[in-house]
Amino acid sequence: MIAEVIVDIATSETDRIFDYLCDGDTVVGSRVRAPFGGKTVPGFVMKIKEKSEVPFEKLKKVIPCPDELPAINGECLALAEKITARYRVPKALTLRLFLPSEMRTGKVRELTRNYAELLVPILEMKLSKTAKNQAGAAEYLAKNGKSDCALVNNLFPGGIAGLEKKGYVKITQEQILRDPYKSVEGENAVRTLTDDQNRAVQTIQTDARTVQLLHGVTGSGKTEIYLTLIAKCLKEGKSSIFLVPEISLTPQMLAQLRARFGKNAAILHSGLSAGERFDEWWRLRTGEAKIAIGARSAIFAPLENIGVIIVDEEHDSSYASETAPRYNTFDVAYLRAKRNGCKLVLGSATPSVETYKRAKEGEFSLIRLEKRVNERPLPEIIISDMRREVRRGNNSAFSFALKEELEKCLSAGKQAILFLNRRGYSQTVICKECGYVAKCEACDVSLTYHRDEDCLKCHYCGAKYSMLSACPECGGIKLSYAGTGTQRIVAELQKLYPTARILRMDNDTTSGKEGHYKILKTFADKKADILVGTQMIAKGHDFPSVTLVGILDADMSLHFSDYRSRERTFQLITQVAGRSGRAEEKGKVVLQTFDPENEVLRFATRYDYLGFYENEISLRAAMLFPPFTKIVRILVTGEDEKKTLEGLKEVYFAMKELYERNAEKFLFFDKMHAPIKRIQNKYRYQVLSRISDTSILPEIYALCAEARTREVLVSVEENPSNLS
């Protein structure tokens, strides 16, 4: 038989598919090792066929890998085909989504452990008097039976090796699966569902539509509904996929999932090592685990017979991939749901305008949960007019109202969350004499001062520069720190409340294996009083002791020149406010703004999603913005400025040609610099268009695939959530 094998998928940007000879029992989707240019490289069987165009004597034979199962199941292969065709990317790129990195590179580490057991009773051993460790090890094994060599070696170094030489012990190797959640504990608190929750579960199970939108205010018990749906599937022997924004995999959430589903759940999150991820993935592939839980990439989980797919916080921007293939998680989830004949449940307190429109028009089912569990009230939102604060001589980052509430909260022994969507100490460093602004050498952006490291950092490439003592342009020494970041907030808070225990959570404090997990755990264990953070603290967390939330700069996201900035502001405020008062105690929120009359803020403080939606959708309709049209950005990037410009020209002329043939389908179309002209030494240009008819999308993808070269990357983004 002949196998079409895709090789080198770990690094290749192109498809390298070759014919090989294979055994008759080789299956599609399985892993092989293929002779290639004098080496053997890992590959995957994409297709089995009878004949090859290549002359027989030139065909080489692949070596099968002894896996119990092909790495990629039939459904995933079919899905990969669809994604490849939809986004016009090489198969190799798509396949990467379906395989853990260790498997792609062929470096699967099977974790094994050595065990020793005695072959000879101690009394029959001939040990020299000085070999104390051998005697110790022998006694240990006699007493405890077969034991982990590493453990015994710790107690009696070299003991086992000595015994083995004499033939007194046998050493065996056994495979162990890493258990990343050994230390995660939680109670399995299965709750009786409220009437609202029961009704939601009923509807989701019986409504005929594939997509079910669960629109429930924060704290309305959506999580409990998801868990019930998953448990029902498990009972029927079906598998489930549960997607959350990465950051929602909080300590409590992990504990809850572990307690509820034990080893039936494979929880994939960024805190896991590559080996641990691989093991979790493999447990899903073999069917040992039936529930895949994780961020957007978990939509590619190697499951069969899926009973439900859940996307929590469906409006979250993390569901759009920003690397090729730039897939949309919803589209992939929909394909899988259709194929498995199961429901796709989208949950949010603030659904995206696009999703809500489709639900309102009846394409999706719409389920509302209007109250918090046990009728707990939503927190009261107090607006602080910062213009007035300035007039009253308050130039600090905190309004009088916020300070007052903070004091009350702290003295009552409760916890507070302060939200500011800007990390670092100050946003920019400006020379007061000449106006010079410190900028990154590799990117076209200003640098942020970080006080803890006393350096300037680029938030786009991570580069660090030493802090300036004088202006490099004019030599002036009057440098001003403009714009407040989270570090500065913490410093000022600590001055105001010297005894308060303050935690900071942003991109700078959450790197490393445990990342945000540790910070959230500390806060959940009430080892801190105030949590200061960027938008990563807004999502999904359930801290019962939090009774105060401060939103320090509610206007910040309003002023982006992006059609979604109002929507994002509304979502952010609702989400952050939703962290307050989730248990018995009533919560409060202080919202600081320079624009208290702003209608988006007004809707948000009244928790009026419907009002906001109606207002927003009519604006979008009037301005012909999505969801009434589609914004398509073609991003052309490369290190060589000339070649990148040539790439841009090629794309532009191809688009122009398409435009001239289909002018009625375009509302707008132009080429320009991307808002940030350079990131990590790569020049960035874009062709921006707004289209009213998506039937030309395949042609746009095709012309971009055509223009892509080794040096110039051309990518297509539909309604991009990040327009930098």
Instruction: Select from ligand ADP, Zn ion, none the partner in contact with residue 463, using the beta carbon and a kind-dependent cut-off of 5 to 8 Å.
Output: Zn ion
Q: Is 222 in the site for ligand ADP (CB under 6 A)?
A: yes
Binding residue for ligand ADP (CB under 6 A) from 100, 159, 180, 216?
216
DSSP state of 377: P
Using alpha carbons, select from 282, 267, 297 the residue that is nearest to residue 102. 282
Cα torsion through 389, 391, 393, 394, rounded to 10: 20
Cβ neighbours of residue 608 closer than 8 Å, sequence gap 6 or more: none
Instruction: Select from ligand ADP, Zn ion, none the partner in contact with residue 193, using the beta carbon and a kind-dependent cut-off of 5 to 8 Å.
Output: ligand ADP
Mark the segment that binds ligand ADP (CB under 6 A) among 93-101, 212-220, 238-246, 293-301: 212-220
Q: Is 705 in the site for ligand ADP (CB under 6 A)?
A: no
Is the Cβ of residue 200 or residue 266 nearer to ligand ADP in the bound state? 200
Binding residue for ligand ADP (CB under 6 A) from 21, 125, 193, 231?
193
H or E, element range at 311: strand 306-312
Binding residue for Zn ion (CB under 5 A) from 443, 503, 530, 648?
443
Q: Is 373 in the site for ligand ADP (CB under 6 A)?
A: yes
Is the Cβ of residue 29 or residue 347 nearer to ligand ADP in the bound state? 347
Mark the segment that binds Zn ion (CB under 5 A) among 58-66, 81-89, 438-446, 561-569: 438-446
CA atoms within 13 A on the CB side of 259: 13
Q: Is 442 in the site for Zn ion (CB under 5 A)?
A: yes
Q: Is 224 in the site for ligand ADP (CB under 6 A)?
A: yes
Instruction: Select from ligand ADP, Zn ion, none the partner in contact with residue 224, using the beta carbon and a kind-dependent cut-off of 5 to 8 Å.
Output: ligand ADP
Number of residues that bind Zn ion (CB under 5 A): 7
Extract the tokens encoding 595. 């624009």
Instruction: Select from Zn ion, ligand ADP, none the partner in contact with residue 535, using the beta carbon and a kind-dependent cut-off of 5 to 8 Å.
Output: none
Q: Is 191 in the site for ligand ADP (CB under 6 A)?
A: yes
CA atoms within 13 A on the CB side of 2: 15
Binding mask 358-377 for Zn ion (x = CB under 5 A): --------------------
Mark the segment that binds Zn ion (CB under 5 A) among 13-21, 110-118, 143-151, 432-440: 432-440
Query: What amino acid is encoded at 471 in this protein?
Result: C
Cα(130)–Cα(521) distance, integer angstroms: 50
CA 308 from chain centre, in angstroms, equals 20
* 222-235 vs 251-261: helix crossing angle, rounded to 10: 30
CB 67 within 8 A of CB 30: yes
At closest approach, how far in Å is the CB of 214 from ligand ADP?
9
Binding residue for Zn ion (CB under 5 A) from 120, 461, 556, 688?
461
Is the Cβ of residue 124 or residue 584 nearer to ligand ADP in the bound state? 584
Mark the segment that binds ligand ADP (CB under 6 A) among 71-79, 220-228, 276-284, 287-295: 220-228
> What DSSP line would sit under 317-332, residue for residue?
GGGB--SSS--BHHHH
β-bridge partners, 554: none
552: left (phi over 0), alpha (psi -120 to 50) or beta: alpha
Binding mask 565-604 for ligand ADP (x = CB under 6 A): -----------------x----------------------
Cα(40)–Cα(172) distance, integer angstroms: 30
At closest approach, how far in Å is the CB of 172 from ligand ADP?
46
Using alpha carbons, select from 586, 512, 520 the residue that is nearest to residue 253. 520
Cβ–Cβ contacts within 10 Å for residue 542, how many? Answer: 18
Is the Cβ of residue 100 or residue 581 nearer to ligand ADP in the bound state? 581
CB 571 within 8 A of CB 315: yes
Mark the segment that binds ligand ADP (CB under 6 A) among 81-89, 137-145, 221-229, 325-333: 221-229
Q: Is 542 in the site for ligand ADP (CB under 6 A)?
A: yes
Extract the tokens encoding 402. 């916020």
Binding residue for Zn ion (CB under 5 A) from 9, 383, 458, 493?
458
Extract the tokens encoding 193. 């569902």
Cβ–Cβ contacts within 10 Å for residue 32, how many? Answer: 24
Cβ–Cβ contacts within 10 Å for residue 155, how many? Answer: 12
Number of residues that bind ligand ADP (CB under 6 A): 16
CA 641 from chain centre, in angstroms, equals 32
Instruction: Select from Zn ion, ligand ADP, none the partner in contact with residue 21, using the beta carbon and a kind-dependent cut-off of 5 to 8 Å.
Output: none
DSSP state of 437: B
Which residues here bind ligand ADP, judged by CB under 6 A? 191-194, 197, 216, 218-224, 373, 542, 582
Which residues here bind Zn ion, judged by CB under 5 A? 440, 442-443, 458, 460-461, 463
